Amino acid sequence: MDAERAHKIGFKGIRLVHSVGAGRLLERFTAPPASLQTAALGLTFPSPFGLAAGFDKEGHGIEALTELGFGHVEVGTITGQAQPGNEKPRLFRLIEDRAVINRMGFNNDGASAVAPRLKAARAALQRRHANVRPVIGVNIGKTKVVELEDAVEDYLISARGLAPAADYLVVNVSSPNTPGLRLLQNVETLRPLLKAVGEEADKSAGRHVPLLVKIAPDLTDEDIDDVARLAMDLGLDGIIATNTTISRDGLDSATEKVEACGAGGLSGAPLKNRSLEVLRRLKSVTQDRLTLISVGGVETGQDVQDRLDAGATLVQGYTAFLYEGPFWAARINKELARNRRKTR
Protein backbone atom coordinates (compact mmCIF):
# COMPACT_ATOMS: atom_id res chain seq x y z
CA MET A 1 0.00 0.00 0.00
CA ASP A 2 1.11 3.56 -0.72
CA ALA A 3 2.89 4.78 2.43
CA GLU A 4 0.82 7.96 2.80
CA ARG A 5 -2.43 6.00 2.49
CA ALA A 6 -1.19 3.53 5.12
CA HIS A 7 -0.35 6.47 7.41
CA LYS A 8 -3.83 7.96 6.92
CA ILE A 9 -5.55 4.66 7.74
CA GLY A 10 -3.32 4.04 10.78
CA PHE A 11 -3.94 7.54 12.12
CA LYS A 12 -7.70 7.15 11.58
CA GLY A 13 -7.57 3.91 13.58
CA ILE A 14 -5.77 5.64 16.46
CA ARG A 15 -8.40 8.40 16.46
CA LEU A 16 -11.22 5.88 16.34
CA VAL A 17 -9.91 4.13 19.46
CA HIS A 18 -9.99 7.52 21.18
CA SER A 19 -13.42 8.54 19.91
CA VAL A 20 -15.12 5.38 21.18
CA GLY A 21 -13.56 5.98 24.61
CA ALA A 22 -11.19 3.00 24.49
CA GLY A 23 -8.15 5.24 24.78
CA ARG A 24 -8.85 5.77 28.46
CA LEU A 25 -8.73 2.03 29.05
CA LEU A 26 -5.58 1.83 26.99
CA GLU A 27 -3.98 4.50 29.14
CA ARG A 28 -3.89 2.08 32.07
CA PHE A 29 -1.14 0.29 30.14
CA THR A 30 0.37 3.12 28.13
CA ALA A 31 0.52 6.07 30.56
CA PRO A 32 4.15 6.95 31.38
CA PRO A 33 5.19 6.01 34.94
CA ALA A 34 5.50 8.98 37.29
CA SER A 35 9.28 8.39 37.52
CA LEU A 36 9.60 9.71 33.94
CA GLN A 37 8.18 13.16 34.65
CA THR A 38 10.53 15.75 33.24
CA ALA A 39 10.80 19.46 33.91
CA ALA A 40 11.63 21.49 30.80
CA LEU A 41 10.73 24.83 29.24
CA GLY A 42 8.97 25.86 32.46
CA LEU A 43 6.56 22.91 32.05
CA THR A 44 6.32 19.39 33.41
CA PHE A 45 6.27 16.68 30.74
CA PRO A 46 4.82 13.24 31.70
CA SER A 47 7.73 11.61 29.83
CA PRO A 48 10.85 12.96 28.13
CA PHE A 49 9.75 11.16 24.96
CA GLY A 50 7.33 12.75 22.50
CA LEU A 51 6.05 12.61 18.95
CA ALA A 52 7.96 14.73 16.43
CA ALA A 53 6.34 17.18 14.00
CA GLY A 54 4.84 15.89 10.78
CA PHE A 55 2.73 13.00 12.08
CA ASP A 56 -0.21 15.14 13.22
CA LYS A 57 0.25 18.13 10.97
CA GLU A 58 -3.12 19.72 11.65
CA GLY A 59 -3.96 18.80 15.25
CA HIS A 60 -6.57 16.18 14.45
CA GLY A 61 -5.41 13.53 16.92
CA ILE A 62 -3.55 15.13 19.83
CA GLU A 63 -5.56 13.49 22.61
CA ALA A 64 -5.55 10.12 20.85
CA LEU A 65 -1.77 10.22 20.43
CA THR A 66 -1.15 11.14 24.06
CA GLU A 67 -3.23 8.10 25.03
CA LEU A 68 -0.51 5.99 23.40
CA GLY A 69 2.06 7.26 25.90
CA PHE A 70 3.72 10.21 24.15
CA GLY A 71 4.65 12.85 26.72
CA HIS A 72 4.18 15.56 24.15
CA VAL A 73 2.90 15.91 20.63
CA GLU A 74 4.44 18.47 18.33
CA VAL A 75 1.73 19.50 15.89
CA GLY A 76 2.63 20.87 12.43
CA THR A 77 4.28 22.11 10.43
CA ILE A 78 1.51 24.69 10.08
CA THR A 79 1.82 27.57 7.64
CA GLY A 80 0.20 31.01 7.49
CA GLN A 81 -1.95 29.96 4.54
CA ALA A 82 -3.57 26.62 3.77
CA GLN A 83 -1.72 24.64 1.07
CA PRO A 84 -1.98 21.19 -0.53
CA GLY A 85 1.70 20.22 -0.35
CA ASN A 86 3.55 18.44 -3.15
CA GLU A 87 2.06 16.10 -5.71
CA LYS A 88 1.57 12.46 -4.64
CA PRO A 89 3.28 10.06 -4.24
CA ARG A 90 5.41 11.95 -1.75
CA LEU A 91 6.16 9.45 1.03
CA PHE A 92 8.31 6.33 0.47
CA ARG A 93 9.44 3.50 2.75
CA LEU A 94 12.98 2.12 2.68
CA ILE A 95 12.26 -0.98 4.73
CA GLU A 96 15.80 -2.42 4.64
CA ASP A 97 17.02 0.81 6.23
CA ARG A 98 14.09 1.30 8.64
CA ALA A 99 13.83 4.70 7.02
CA VAL A 100 11.47 6.81 4.94
CA ILE A 101 11.92 9.56 2.39
CA ASN A 102 9.28 12.29 2.29
CA ARG A 103 8.64 15.40 0.25
CA MET A 104 5.23 16.20 1.72
CA GLY A 105 5.81 19.96 1.39
CA PHE A 106 3.87 21.19 4.45
CA ASN A 107 0.40 20.03 3.39
CA ASN A 108 -1.93 21.62 5.96
CA ASP A 109 -5.08 23.65 6.23
CA GLY A 110 -3.41 26.80 7.56
CA ALA A 111 -3.06 28.51 10.93
CA SER A 112 -6.60 29.87 11.22
CA ALA A 113 -8.17 26.43 10.68
CA VAL A 114 -5.81 24.63 13.07
CA ALA A 115 -6.02 27.11 15.98
CA PRO A 116 -9.50 26.12 17.25
CA ARG A 117 -8.54 22.42 17.15
CA LEU A 118 -5.49 23.11 19.32
CA LYS A 119 -7.52 25.15 21.78
CA ALA A 120 -10.06 22.34 22.13
CA ALA A 121 -7.35 19.69 22.58
CA ARG A 122 -5.52 21.76 25.19
CA ALA A 123 -8.72 22.31 27.16
CA ALA A 124 -9.59 18.59 26.97
CA LEU A 125 -6.14 17.56 28.21
CA GLN A 126 -6.38 20.08 31.03
CA ARG A 127 -9.74 18.67 32.08
CA ARG A 128 -8.54 15.09 32.02
CA HIS A 129 -5.17 15.40 33.70
CA ALA A 130 -5.45 17.04 37.08
CA ASN A 131 -1.70 17.51 37.58
CA VAL A 132 0.76 16.66 34.86
CA ARG A 133 -0.76 16.66 31.40
CA PRO A 134 0.79 15.88 28.03
CA VAL A 135 2.31 18.93 26.36
CA ILE A 136 1.32 20.41 22.99
CA GLY A 137 4.12 21.82 20.86
CA VAL A 138 3.29 23.82 17.75
CA ASN A 139 5.67 23.86 14.81
CA ILE A 140 5.31 26.67 12.24
CA GLY A 141 6.80 27.12 8.76
CA LYS A 142 6.63 29.27 5.64
CA THR A 143 3.80 29.09 3.11
CA LYS A 144 5.27 27.93 -0.22
CA VAL A 145 3.89 30.77 -2.39
CA VAL A 146 5.18 33.45 -0.01
CA GLU A 147 8.52 34.87 -1.16
CA LEU A 148 11.50 34.37 1.18
CA GLU A 149 11.78 38.13 1.75
CA ASP A 150 8.19 38.14 3.06
CA ALA A 151 8.75 35.08 5.28
CA VAL A 152 8.70 36.98 8.59
CA GLU A 153 5.15 38.29 8.08
CA ASP A 154 4.00 34.79 7.09
CA TYR A 155 5.49 33.22 10.25
CA LEU A 156 3.89 36.01 12.28
CA ILE A 157 0.42 35.08 11.01
CA SER A 158 0.97 31.59 12.42
CA ALA A 159 2.56 32.83 15.65
CA ARG A 160 -0.33 35.21 16.26
CA GLY A 161 -3.01 32.61 15.66
CA LEU A 162 -1.39 29.59 17.25
CA ALA A 163 0.71 30.78 20.21
CA PRO A 164 -2.32 31.14 22.55
CA ALA A 165 -2.96 27.40 22.19
CA ALA A 166 0.68 26.31 22.27
CA ASP A 167 2.68 25.09 25.27
CA TYR A 168 5.79 25.74 23.20
CA LEU A 169 6.37 27.09 19.70
CA VAL A 170 8.92 25.91 17.12
CA VAL A 171 10.19 27.89 14.16
CA ASN A 172 10.91 25.34 11.46
CA VAL A 173 13.56 26.55 9.05
CA SER A 174 14.93 23.13 8.21
CA SER A 175 12.51 21.19 6.00
CA PRO A 176 14.12 20.33 2.66
CA ASN A 177 10.74 20.30 0.91
CA THR A 178 9.91 24.02 0.73
CA PRO A 179 12.23 25.71 -1.79
CA GLY A 180 14.66 28.10 -0.11
CA LEU A 181 13.37 27.48 3.43
CA ARG A 182 16.65 26.23 4.80
CA LEU A 183 18.36 29.47 3.70
CA LEU A 184 16.52 31.03 6.64
CA GLN A 185 18.93 29.14 8.92
CA ASN A 186 21.53 31.73 8.00
CA VAL A 187 22.01 33.86 11.11
CA GLU A 188 21.45 37.18 9.31
CA THR A 189 17.96 36.09 8.23
CA LEU A 190 17.27 33.94 11.28
CA ARG A 191 17.89 36.67 13.84
CA PRO A 192 15.06 39.06 12.80
CA LEU A 193 12.73 36.11 12.18
CA LEU A 194 13.16 34.55 15.63
CA LYS A 195 13.05 37.90 17.37
CA ALA A 196 9.80 38.91 15.67
CA VAL A 197 8.12 35.51 16.20
CA GLY A 198 9.08 35.45 19.88
CA GLU A 199 7.66 38.91 20.51
CA GLU A 200 4.47 38.21 18.57
CA ALA A 201 3.90 34.85 20.29
CA ASP A 202 4.22 36.30 23.80
CA LYS A 203 2.04 39.28 22.91
CA SER A 204 -0.79 37.26 21.41
CA ALA A 205 -0.73 34.61 24.16
CA GLY A 206 -0.41 37.12 27.02
CA ARG A 207 2.29 34.94 28.62
CA HIS A 208 5.75 33.72 27.72
CA VAL A 209 5.48 30.95 25.12
CA PRO A 210 8.74 28.98 25.06
CA LEU A 211 10.33 29.39 21.62
CA LEU A 212 12.63 26.90 19.90
CA VAL A 213 14.20 26.65 16.46
CA LYS A 214 14.41 23.37 14.55
CA ILE A 215 17.56 22.80 12.52
CA ALA A 216 18.72 20.49 9.74
CA PRO A 217 21.33 17.77 10.15
CA ASP A 218 22.98 18.99 6.95
CA LEU A 219 24.32 22.21 8.49
CA THR A 220 28.09 22.41 8.81
CA ASP A 221 29.52 22.32 12.33
CA GLU A 222 30.28 26.05 12.05
CA ASP A 223 26.68 26.80 11.09
CA ILE A 224 25.46 24.73 14.05
CA ASP A 225 27.69 26.77 16.37
CA ASP A 226 26.37 30.01 14.83
CA VAL A 227 22.72 29.04 15.31
CA ALA A 228 23.44 27.92 18.89
CA ARG A 229 25.14 31.22 19.71
CA LEU A 230 22.32 33.16 18.08
CA ALA A 231 19.73 31.23 20.09
CA MET A 232 21.56 32.05 23.33
CA ASP A 233 22.03 35.67 22.29
CA LEU A 234 18.30 36.09 21.59
CA GLY A 235 17.29 34.35 24.81
CA LEU A 236 15.53 31.54 22.97
CA ASP A 237 14.35 28.62 25.08
CA GLY A 238 15.81 25.80 23.03
CA ILE A 239 16.81 24.05 19.84
CA ILE A 240 15.32 20.96 18.19
CA ALA A 241 17.84 18.87 16.28
CA THR A 242 17.33 17.50 13.77
CA ASN A 243 14.97 17.55 10.84
CA THR A 244 15.32 15.07 7.95
CA THR A 245 18.49 14.94 5.82
CA ILE A 246 19.01 15.39 2.09
CA SER A 247 21.97 12.99 2.31
CA ARG A 248 21.58 9.43 0.97
CA ASP A 249 24.87 8.14 2.39
CA GLY A 250 25.22 4.73 4.00
CA LEU A 251 21.88 3.23 2.90
CA ASP A 252 21.46 -0.54 2.49
CA SER A 253 18.50 -0.24 0.10
CA ALA A 254 19.29 -0.74 -3.59
CA THR A 255 20.48 2.46 -5.28
CA GLU A 256 17.73 2.21 -7.95
CA LYS A 257 15.11 2.00 -5.23
CA VAL A 258 16.51 5.03 -3.42
CA GLU A 259 16.79 7.01 -6.66
CA ALA A 260 13.22 6.10 -7.62
CA CYS A 261 11.98 7.92 -4.50
CA GLY A 262 13.37 11.17 -5.90
CA ALA A 263 13.97 14.33 -3.86
CA GLY A 264 12.98 14.65 -0.22
CA GLY A 265 14.13 14.32 3.37
CA LEU A 266 15.43 11.01 4.71
CA SER A 267 14.52 10.02 8.26
CA GLY A 268 14.77 6.99 10.52
CA ALA A 269 17.70 4.76 11.48
CA PRO A 270 20.24 6.17 8.97
CA LEU A 271 19.90 9.58 10.67
CA LYS A 272 20.81 8.25 14.11
CA ASN A 273 24.54 8.97 14.15
CA ARG A 274 24.38 12.43 12.63
CA SER A 275 21.53 13.48 14.89
CA LEU A 276 23.51 12.39 17.96
CA GLU A 277 26.59 14.19 16.63
CA VAL A 278 24.62 17.44 16.18
CA LEU A 279 23.25 17.10 19.72
CA ARG A 280 26.76 16.69 21.15
CA ARG A 281 27.95 19.72 19.22
CA LEU A 282 25.02 21.83 20.44
CA LYS A 283 25.58 20.71 24.02
CA SER A 284 29.24 21.63 23.92
CA VAL A 285 28.38 25.16 22.76
CA THR A 286 25.28 25.83 24.83
CA GLN A 287 26.13 23.90 28.03
CA ASP A 288 23.08 24.31 30.26
CA ARG A 289 21.81 27.54 28.77
CA LEU A 290 19.26 26.04 26.35
CA THR A 291 16.84 23.13 26.34
CA LEU A 292 17.88 20.68 23.66
CA ILE A 293 15.32 18.38 22.06
CA SER A 294 16.95 15.55 20.15
CA VAL A 295 15.22 13.87 17.20
CA GLY A 296 16.42 11.64 14.40
CA GLY A 297 16.71 7.87 14.16
CA VAL A 298 15.51 7.05 17.67
CA GLU A 299 14.10 3.50 17.82
CA THR A 300 14.50 2.11 21.35
CA GLY A 301 14.44 3.18 24.97
CA GLN A 302 18.22 2.88 24.94
CA ASP A 303 18.39 5.33 22.00
CA VAL A 304 16.31 7.79 24.02
CA GLN A 305 18.56 7.27 27.07
CA ASP A 306 21.65 7.87 24.91
CA ARG A 307 20.23 11.24 23.83
CA LEU A 308 19.41 12.18 27.42
CA ASP A 309 22.93 11.16 28.47
CA ALA A 310 24.37 13.30 25.66
CA GLY A 311 22.59 16.39 26.97
CA ALA A 312 19.06 16.38 25.58
CA THR A 313 16.26 17.17 28.03
CA LEU A 314 13.56 15.85 25.72
CA VAL A 315 13.63 13.38 22.83
CA GLN A 316 11.27 12.90 19.89
CA GLY A 317 10.69 10.30 17.22
CA TYR A 318 8.55 9.76 14.17
CA THR A 319 9.77 7.25 11.58
CA ALA A 320 10.16 4.27 13.94
CA PHE A 321 6.50 4.78 14.94
CA LEU A 322 5.57 3.80 11.37
CA TYR A 323 7.58 0.57 11.69
CA GLU A 324 6.96 -0.29 15.35
CA GLY A 325 3.24 0.44 15.58
CA PRO A 326 0.92 2.03 18.14
CA PHE A 327 2.57 0.69 21.31
CA TRP A 328 5.99 2.07 20.48
CA ALA A 329 5.89 5.03 22.89
CA ALA A 330 4.59 2.85 25.73
CA ARG A 331 7.43 0.36 25.14
CA ILE A 332 9.99 3.15 25.17
CA ASN A 333 8.59 4.56 28.41
CA LYS A 334 8.71 1.12 30.03
CA GLU A 335 12.30 0.56 28.92
CA LEU A 336 13.35 4.01 30.18
CA ALA A 337 11.68 3.45 33.56
CA ARG A 338 13.27 -0.01 33.89
CA ASN A 339 16.74 1.40 33.12
CA ARG A 340 16.23 4.11 35.71
CA ARG A 341 15.27 1.58 38.36
CA LYS A 342 18.40 -0.44 37.56
CA THR A 343 20.78 2.52 37.72
CA ARG A 344 19.27 3.93 40.90
212 binds ligand FMN (CB under 6 A): no
323 is in an annotated binding site: no
Q: Which amino acid is at 226?
A: D
Cis ω for the linkage preceding 89 (within 30 of 0):
yes
Tell me how far, at minimum, the Cβ of 323 lies from ligand FMN, in Å.
Answer: 10
103 is in an annotated binding site: yes
Tell me how far, at minimum, the Cβ of 72 lies from ligand FMN, in Å.
Answer: 12
2 is in an annotated binding site: no
Interface size with ligand FMN, residues (CB under 6 A): 28
Catalytic residue among 47, 174, 175, 275: 175
**β-sheet bridge partners, residue 49:** 315
Binding window for ligand FMN (CB under 6 A); candidates: 113-121, 130-138, 264-272, 334-342:
264-272
Find the binding residues for ligand FMN in span 271-330 (CB under 6 A). 271, 295-298, 317-320
191 vs 172: CA distance, rounded Å: 14
83 binds ligand FMN (CB under 6 A): no
Q: What residue spans of 34-140 are helical by DSSP H?
A: 62-66, 111-128
| Angle CA 164–283–185, to nearest 5 | 60
Find the binder of ligand FMN among 72, 93, 182, 214 (CB under 6 A): 214
> Whose Cβ is closer to ligand FMN: residue 45's or residue 106's?
106
DSSP secondary structure, 115-149, as one string: HHHHHHHHHHHHHH-SS---EEEEEE---TTS-GG
53 is in an annotated binding site: yes
Interaction pattern, residues 48-67, with ligand FMN; x per rule: CB under 6 A: ----xxx--x----------
Beta strand 265-268 with 238-241 is unpaired
CA distances, 71 to each of 34, 74, 125, 157 (Å): 11, 10, 12, 28
For 317, phi and psi rounded to 5 degrees? -150, 160
Find the binding residues for ligand FMN in span 164-183 (CB under 6 A). 172, 175
Q: Please state the separation of Cα 230 from the chain's center in Å.
A: 21
313 is in an annotated binding site: no
Told to judge if 175 belongs to the known catalytic residues of this protein, a careful annotator would answer yes
Interaction pattern, residues 104-133, with ligand FMN; x per rule: CB under 6 A: x-x---------------------------
Tell me how far, at minimum, the Cβ of 20 lies from ligand FMN, in Å.
Answer: 27
N-to-C CA span, the chain: 45
Interaction pattern, residues 217-256, with ligand FMN; x per rule: CB under 6 A: --------------------------xx------------
Compute and round to an integer the Cα radius of gyration of the chain: 18
CA distances, 314 to each of 43, 64, 212, 242 (Å): 12, 21, 13, 13
Contacts (Cβ under 8 Å, ≥6 apart) of 240: 170, 212, 213, 214, 215, 293, 295, 316
185 binds ligand FMN (CB under 6 A): no
158 binds ligand FMN (CB under 6 A): no
Catalytic residues: 175
Which residues in this chain contact ligand FMN in the complex, by CB under 6 A? 52-54, 57, 76-77, 91, 100, 102, 104, 106, 139, 172, 175, 214, 243-244, 267-268, 271, 295-298, 317-320
Annotated binding-site members for substrate:
57, 102-106, 172, 177, 243-244
